[in-house]
Chain A
């Protein structure tokens, strides 16, 4: 088990649905991240939050909307996704934004039909 918890583990959604992915950590980390990973590819950075403020958005389409309600929680709101958005979505956290090792959750496997 990891110290970064992601829910749900699996999600199937239609292109007109709205859903949210959730991530929680209680390690006192102040930076949190969303990554997208396609099969047999490395993780790709989507968003970085530092001290609950969005620091980096890697040109992610607006159908993905991140939210950091507090220092322990990170959400990713999904709306009007495309089948090519199907992937493993990974959340990670680190003590600070730079240099610190990232600790990953086990991801949410998302399928868009």
Chain B
């Protein structure tokens, strides 16, 4: 059975303080590892898809990386507007989501 585990559950950072979010997974055949951002009361917003180990993608202050067992979402010099819940998901028929990391960036 596909499984996704995210850590930490919550993270509070100062503005400008870089950090990484972790997504560990087990899957019989990877059909994509997806990262989403979700703001309160909104639907998840697509950020990245990674398909193979060693792949990296970047968007503004975010960089996603993938190994055979886990993915990291690196946040460089975050701003308060980066505060959100970040969800990792395995692709298949629909998505299997992890429980998310609730990120707070304090000014």
Contacts and interface: CB of A to CB of B under 8 A. Distances in A.
Contacts of B32: 99, 101
Contact of A41 (B34, B96, B99): B99
B53 interface: no
A105 interface: yes
Given A55-B93, A97-B93, A99-B91, A42 B98 contact: yes
Interface residues on A, range: 20 to 34
Interface in A48-104: 48, 55-56, 88, 90, 92, 97-99, 101-104
B97 A43 contact: yes
Contacts, number: 61
Contact of A56 (B31, B36, B43, B93): B93
B95 interface: yes
B46 A101 contact: yes
Nearest to A97: B93
Given A92-B43, A104-B36, A105-B43, 8 more contacts: A43-B97, A45-B94, A45-B95, A99-B91, A101-B46, A104-B46, A106-B43, A109-B41
